[in-house]
Chains A and B, each alone.
Chain A
Amino acid sequence: MASRTSSYKVVLLGEGRVGKTSLVLRFCRDTFVDGQPPTIQASCLERALRLGDKTVNLVIWDTAGQERFHALGPIYYRDADAALLVYDITDTDSFKRIQVWVRELRKMVGDSIQLSIAGNKSDLERQRVVSRQEAAEYADSVGAHYAETSAKQNRGLDELFSSMGKRLLASREEKLGSPALGSGPASTRRSRGAAMVLIDDEPPASSSSSRCC
């Protein structure tokens, strides 16, 4: 029971050109098979993290970051367990955009969502315009985890996601009391109409076949 996988929905927010997609693609790349025809795998990714004796399954939903699609955000981040906000350390606007999203998330989703802020393109240190201290202070003030990453050089990604996974596990244990209840927060928290049976828990032999991503 202790090692059961639980799935979490992570929504990926960030402006168009901050490299959020390449960040996540880099992180999840080892789950890809090269030579496959492209599918929407680039937009809806899944990656299992092993944290101690537990496995955390992160389902990462990419979003369109352009300003004109800003109003569509709630469709994606509804029921998300965590949000990964990516900005470009060489672009002040992208950092301001992050702050807009944080306010919106706190307002629409509440405090239950775990926030992580990633300053991407840390390899371009010379062109930096958003200082590390400023970003870290902001992250502290909104209760988010902050990390600087480089998708190009594959830096800081593991730390970012494992910290996210740990906080997800901790918040869930806190919320439920016991981690053995329910298969995933997304299925326990939202109840549209009548509560559904958590069906992939029922037959023990088949739990591996019911993953859909």
Chain B
Amino acid sequence: MQLPRCFRSPGGSSCCRGRWAAAYMRRSSSTSASSLCARVSYGQRACPTRSVASLLGRSAARGSTFAPSHRPLVNTTDWLDSAIDSLSLKEVGAPALGSNEMVIGGDGDLESKERAGAGAEAKGGGGADADTSTPRCGRRSARRSARGGDARASGASGTWHRGLPGRGGDASVPRGRASHAIAVRRAATVRAGAAQLGAFSIQPRGGAGGPVHMLREWLRPSSSHPLAQLLHSRAADFATRFEPAIHAANAALTAARAAARATGPGAGAGSGRQRAFTVGVHSGSSQLGREFTVAQPTGSLEETMSVCSMGETISMGSVGDGESPFAGENLGGNLGGNLGGNLGGNLGGNLGGNLGEGEGPFAGGAVGPNGAGTGPLGPISMWEANRQMEDAVKEVLAMQEVLDESLIAQLPALREYSALLPAAALFDCASEAIFEVAWPTLRTLYTAMCAEPDAIYRQQLVEMRALLPQHLGLRKELWLLPTGPDPALRAYLWTLPPPQTDSSFAERAEWAERAEALRERTVLRASRLIQQAWRGRACGPLGCGPYRRTVNALREMSACSTPLHKAERVLRALNFLTLECGKVLQAEASSDEIAADELLPLFVFVLIRAQVPQLYSQARFIADFLPKQHALGRHGYCLATLQAALQYLMETSWAAVLQVRELNGH
């Protein structure tokens, strides 16, 4: 799985990890090399074989007395001997070992390699040569290099083999006199044992097992497997077929940019605030580096938010009233940066040239200034209209179908790797491979075709930026009022007007009216205060406001390139939202679950805080390509919630929100 950059360890921390590993080894000297290796190479991530490896390492290191009862490891030494004998075979990469050792996936290889390399370096560079000798499999070399460093360090400290059984079963190796060779051999022994244990205890946990990894290997561009050939020939056809469409799309976008520039300040008339938006699409390397910032002629304060996602840079200038909640935030921090690399490749070549033709099928549609924004869109029409890229969608779906059929033919071959085939994971893997090659084209098409709704979405983000949970009729517990700034105000807001029992009906009505007016005013004042308190929070790169985990999960969505991964981010976001609400509600001793009645409005609120760029086109992308087997389940539900929240956000005006009388929850 492609991990976003924020999940990978940045360059600096691998060194830290190495140091940590060294310290760890010094501290618990009886813990064996393989346990350390597992920790070093996997880092903190969950991994199917990690627990097994560390389990084995520990038990092997302490001798058979500590062997866990559920594992038939009675005669430790014989088993280790056979492991040593088979070591040479394993080192050159026997398929059985390879199939499970690479469970974690290709993307982690490089990372673990550099981590382990750093670990070895921290201990004296013992494993550097081993590291470079086998570039074929990063994980294996990482382990070996870590092992080398490990052995050297232990040879120096001399305490490492205290708990290790010797080859004959005795643990009486002379302390401090172990030669380097023996230490290396021991480490290798334990390591091979861990590998062997991993080989027979491989479990397809969470759908990731040997077959999935083999399939991933088969589908690599460099692979000569028929599946890969099929995929890449289809992908090449796809790219050539939609090349003119991409050119047209880019031309349309360029025209839209020019139009927005020309009509900039006037476009946002109607709400009293002046604003303008420009989309800059920087596809691949050809346009990288251009940035569009719309400067308002009449504004005193300009806030420029540069959002980098999907390989594009959008600069949004919002001018005028200086109470934007998004001041001083930099969204680009965790989203940007990791996209330049994998997006630039295929598309850069296509886009370098003729952007000027503009007569293609997409030239007309995307530029309209406010077609869909003015008229009320029908409930479905918003998602069903604008179907001109149906061809591309059909093409990709057909590609998927063909690949799926071939994959079904390959299932018996995959069955060799594990009796239990995680079918869903296999097909997800195939679909991932398709989107890896089709994503650059699709991204441009979607950006161009959804430029108009995306622009509406961006406008609405600014228009609704003062929206608070109370505006959506949520109960007070979920407002998550900041406790800091004004506790008195908070207390006031939470008190309802006292009931009037002994007064006439007219008096009571008048009182209620006045109380209601007062309360509304207070709520509005409070929300302004809250808005100020929240300024710059919940939106920064660190995301420190309420619902921050939800916001962060949503922002990761732009970095994903397959529909399933994007839907997973939404699922994660919704789960976090429920979790965070559950915490609040438990503290308030009301019911501890929120259902759709509250989930949807809260999600609208969170969407505004999250400021995910081009959310509409991303949602369309998920909706078009979410695999059928997920459409009915939670991913489908999350998609529906996202679409619903988005539609509400895009079709509701701020005035309409304020008109609703249920400002105070009920």
Q: Show the binding face of A for B, using Cβ within 8 Å.
A: 7, 9, 12, 16, 21, 25, 37-40, 42-44, 46, 59, 61-66, 68-69, 71-76, 78-79, 108, 184, 186-187, 192-200, 202-203, 205-207, 209-213
Q: Which 7 A-B pairs have the closest CB atoms?
A: A212-B633, A38-B582, A21-B595, A62-B596, A193-B397, A206-B423, A44-B637
Pairwise interchain contact A71-B651, C-beta atoms closer than 8 A: yes
CB neighbours of B390 from chain A (8 A)? 193
Cβ-defined partner of A37 (8 Å) among B393, B400, B421, B582 = B582
Cβ-defined partner of B599 (8 Å) among A64, A202, A205, A212 = A64
Complex-state Cα separation, A43 to B651, whole angstroms: 24
Pairwise interchain contact B635-A43, C-beta atoms closer than 8 A: no
Interface of B is mostly: helix
Pairwise interchain contact A39-B427, C-beta atoms closer than 8 A: no
Nearest-neighbor residue (CB-CB) of B600 within chain A: A64
Complex-state Cα separation, A25 to B591, whole angstroms: 12
Pairwise interchain contact B578-A39, C-beta atoms closer than 8 A: yes
CB neighbours of A197 from chain B (8 A)? 401, 404-405, 408
**B638 on the A face (CB < 8 A):** yes
Complex-state Cα separation, A62 to B599, whole angstroms: 10
Pairwise interchain contact B644-A72, C-beta atoms closer than 8 A: yes
Nearest-neighbor residue (CB-CB) of A186 within chain B: B632
13 A-B pairs besides A39-B579, A72-B644 with CB distance below 8 A are A37-B579, A38-B592, A40-B575, A43-B599, A61-B637, A64-B597, A193-B390, A194-B394, A194-B398, A196-B628, A197-B401, A202-B408, A213-B632
Pairwise interchain contact B578-A196, C-beta atoms closer than 8 A: no
Pairwise interchain contact A64-B596, C-beta atoms closer than 8 A: yes
Pairwise interchain contact B595-A62, C-beta atoms closer than 8 A: yes
Pairwise interchain contact A68-B473, C-beta atoms closer than 8 A: yes
**B648 on the A face (CB < 8 A):** yes
- A5 to B: closest C-beta gap in Å: 12
CB neighbours of A68 from chain B (8 A)? 472-473, 648, 660
CB neighbours of B473 from chain A (8 A)? 66, 68
Some 17 contacts from A to B, beta carbons below 8 A apart, are: A21-B596, A38-B592, A40-B638, A42-B594, A46-B633, A68-B473, A193-B390, A199-B408, A199-B424, A202-B411, A203-B411, A203-B423, A206-B420, A211-B633, A212-B632, A212-B634, A213-B633
Nearest-neighbor residue (CB-CB) of B631 within chain A: A186
- B547 to A: closest C-beta gap in Å: 14
Pairwise interchain contact B422-A9, C-beta atoms closer than 8 A: no
Complex-state Cα separation, A192 to B600, whole angstroms: 26
**B640 on the A face (CB < 8 A):** yes
Complex-state Cα separation, A203 to B408, whole angstroms: 8
CB neighbours of A75 from chain B (8 A)? 379-380, 383, 640, 643-644, 647
Pairwise interchain contact B420-A205, C-beta atoms closer than 8 A: yes
CB neighbours of A200 from chain B (8 A)? 423-424, 629
Pairwise interchain contact A209-B422, C-beta atoms closer than 8 A: yes
Q: Show the binding face of B for A, using Cβ within 8 Å.
A: 207, 379-380, 383, 390, 393-394, 397-398, 400-401, 404-405, 408, 411, 419-424, 427, 472-473, 571, 574-575, 578-579, 581-582, 592-601, 624, 627-635, 637-638, 640-641, 643-644, 647-648, 651, 660
Nearest-neighbor residue (CB-CB) of B570 within chain A: A40
Pairwise interchain contact A74-B397, C-beta atoms closer than 8 A: no
Pairwise interchain contact A66-B597, C-beta atoms closer than 8 A: yes
Complex-state Cα separation, A8 to B394, whole angstroms: 26
Complex-state Cα separation, A108 to B578, whole angstroms: 31
- A76 to B: closest C-beta gap in Å: 5
Pairwise interchain contact A209-B424, C-beta atoms closer than 8 A: yes
Complex-state Cα separation, A162 to B60, whole angstroms: 56
Interface of A is mostly: mixed
Q: How many A-B residue pairs have CB under 8 A?
A: 173
CB neighbours of B574 from chain A (8 A)? 40, 43
Cβ-defined partner of B423 (8 Å) among A44, A186, A193, A199 = A199
CB neighbours of B596 from chain A (8 A)? 12, 21, 43, 61-65
Complex-state Cα separation, A158 to B635, whole angstroms: 27
CB neighbours of B575 from chain A (8 A)? 39-40
CB neighbours of A199 from chain B (8 A)? 404, 408, 423-424, 427, 628-629
Complex-state Cα separation, A38 to B593, whole angstroms: 6
Pairwise interchain contact B593-A42, C-beta atoms closer than 8 A: yes
CB neighbours of A40 from chain B (8 A)? 571, 574-575, 578, 599, 634, 637-638
Complex-state Cα separation, A212 to B628, whole angstroms: 11
Pairwise interchain contact B397-A196, C-beta atoms closer than 8 A: yes
Cβ-defined partner of B637 (8 Å) among A43, A78, A210, A211 = A43
- A65 to B: closest C-beta gap in Å: 6
CB neighbours of B644 from chain A (8 A)? 64, 69, 72, 75-76
CB neighbours of B397 from chain A (8 A)? 192-194, 196
Cβ-defined partner of A193 (8 Å) among B380, B398, B424 = B398
- A26 to B: closest C-beta gap in Å: 12
Complex-state Cα separation, A213 to B571, whole angstroms: 12
- A34 to B: closest C-beta gap in Å: 11
Complex-state Cα separation, A9 to B405, whole angstroms: 27
Complex-state Cα separation, A5 to B177, whole angstroms: 66
CB neighbours of A202 from chain B (8 A)? 408, 411, 423
Pairwise interchain contact A42-B578, C-beta atoms closer than 8 A: yes
Q: A200-B423, A202-B423 are in contact. Are A210 and B599 (CB under 8 A)?
A: no
Cβ-defined partner of A203 (8 Å) among B421, B599, B648 = B421
- B1 to A: closest C-beta gap in Å: 17
Pairwise interchain contact B408-A21, C-beta atoms closer than 8 A: no
CB neighbours of B641 from chain A (8 A)? 43
CB neighbours of B624 from chain A (8 A)? 192
- B497 to A: closest C-beta gap in Å: 21
Pairwise interchain contact A9-B423, C-beta atoms closer than 8 A: no
Pairwise interchain contact B578-A44, C-beta atoms closer than 8 A: no
Pairwise interchain contact A72-B379, C-beta atoms closer than 8 A: yes
CB neighbours of B595 from chain A (8 A)? 21, 25, 42-43, 62
CB neighbours of A207 from chain B (8 A)? 423
Complex-state Cα separation, A2 to B651, whole angstroms: 47
Q: A71-B379, A206-B421 are in contact. Are A194 and B634 (CB under 8 A)?
A: no
